[in-house]
Copies of this chain bind each other. A is one copy, B any other.
Amino acid sequence: MQNYFSTDFKIGILGGGQLGKMMLYDARKFDIATHVLESNTEAPSAIACNKFVYGDIQDYETVVNFGKEVDLITFEIEAVNLQALQKLEELGKTVYPSSATLELIQSKQRQKNFYKKNNIPTSPFTNFESLSELKSAYQNNEFKLPQVWKAATGGYDGKGVQVLKTEADFDKLVDAPCLIEEMIDFEMELAVIVARNPSGETKSYPVVEMEFHPEANQVEYVLSPARITDEIAQKARYLAEKVSQKFEHVGLLAIEFFLTKDGEILVNEVAPRPHNSGHLTIEGNYTNQFEQHLRSILDLPLGDSSTKKPAVMVNLVGDENHEGQVLYKNIENILALKGVTPHIYGKKETRPFRKMGHVTIINESIEEAREMAEKVKQKIKVISDEKL
């Protein structure tokens, strides 16, 4: 059996953001060597890896050359050069998640087709090759507004998504392959993270509840476990595991769901990596999502995913009126609250709604944790001396 601990075995991680940074905590904990490829030398995971390689994760040559130096390639963001991953697999390198899964997931059109083909419940949708194709379909009365528009690729953090209420909203769209989905009148948004290793061992995390910021279309709070019935929780976890298995996924897969008003569960979208909805597993669960990702891609036994204590996570995003050198105002006040752990990603510059960190609140009671999260949100300000 391959030994990874304190050996020459190297994992190459594409991308050096906060997800990579938190993955490095666990790589360090296991003393597994890592190389990081990233084009920002001040990125959160520029340190704590064994080797930092400066370069563009979207550039074919750069990714292939980076991958040749390591034993296993993974990524912390899905916007990587797919052809390079395919090439590395041809060269006999292990790539997890595989290029085949990533190809399906990178395109929201292919993702939706995949759910349909595999009888995975999702909201009704139509794919279009261009903006003009979309417009003519509307003019031909092939669909009615409102609809949710999504760019086929490149969407992240609320970009590439637009609610179409009136015809005027078409002017906000870019000309790109896209899809429209029926708007779901949902009760709640849920998420489940599933880990799967190459041997096929599959473990899901307890269902979490996501509350979105009304303007920024970003997750503002995550609650674990979600305040739902056991029946719905089981249904969501079963479905999440099915999605991971159908994709023959290796690594973490985060599945976001709509819970409809009549108790139906629909897959919204997936991310093939550690996910914002799983950050609270660091403090709240027996095995955190980053360690679980490493266990998955290394074909090690998966860890216990269950809850140690109820947890709420608050995203720390840049104040909408500030831009410049970041200042975490009142952070000492939130440190005085019981069970509160801030995570500061290490980005030097703040800008409106930029993800700068998160705070986990652990409490015996999920309701109390949620109340405390509100307090945390009100107290701490991610600002700058320079106002916008």
Contacts and interface: CB of A to CB of B under 8 A. Distances in A.
Interface of A: 1, 3, 5-6, 21, 24-25, 28-31, 47-50, 286-287, 291, 295, 300-301, 303-304, 308-309, 326-328, 331-332, 335-336, 338-348, 362
Interface SS of A by simple majority: loop
A6 B344 contact: yes
A344 B31 contact: yes
A332 B301 contact: yes
Nearest to A304: B338
B304 A5 contact: no
Contacts of A347: 6
Given A48-B47, A326-B6, A335 B28 contact: no
B300 A332 contact: yes
B50 A5 contact: no
A379 to B, nearest CB: 13
Nearest to A303: B335
Contacts of A50: 47
A29 B344 contact: yes
Contacts of A29: 25, 341-344
Contacts of A6: 326, 328, 344, 346-348
B31 A336 contact: no
Nearest to A49: B47
B301 A336 contact: yes
27 contacts: A3-B327, A3-B328, A5-B328, A6-B344, A24-B48, A25-B29, A28-B47, A28-B346, A29-B341, A29-B342, A30-B342, A30-B344, A47-B48, A47-B50, A48-B48, A286-B338, A286-B339, A287-B341, A291-B341, A300-B335, A301-B335, A301-B336, A303-B335, A303-B340, A303-B341, A304-B339, A308-B362
A229 to B, nearest CB: 24
A312 to B, nearest CB: 14
**Count of chain copies:** 2
A309 B24 CA distance: 25
A331 B3 CA distance: 9
Contacts of A344: 5-6, 29-31
A310 to B, nearest CB: 11
Given A48-B48, A286-B339, A31 B346 contact: yes
A300 to B, nearest CB: 5
A346 B31 CA distance: 5
Contacts of A24: 48
A30 B345 CA distance: 8
A331 B362 contact: no
A339 B300 CA distance: 15
A327 to B, nearest CB: 6
A298 to B, nearest CB: 9
Contacts of A336: 301
Nearest to A348: B6
A329 to B, nearest CB: 8
A291 B340 CA distance: 12
A304 B335 CA distance: 10
B31 A28 contact: no
Given A3-B328, A342-B30, A295 B47 contact: no
Contacts of A341: 29, 287, 291, 303
A25 B291 CA distance: 14
A300 B3 CA distance: 41
Given A6-B346, A328-B5, A348-B6, A48 B28 contact: yes
A279 to B, nearest CB: 11
A333 to B, nearest CB: 8
A43 to B, nearest CB: 12
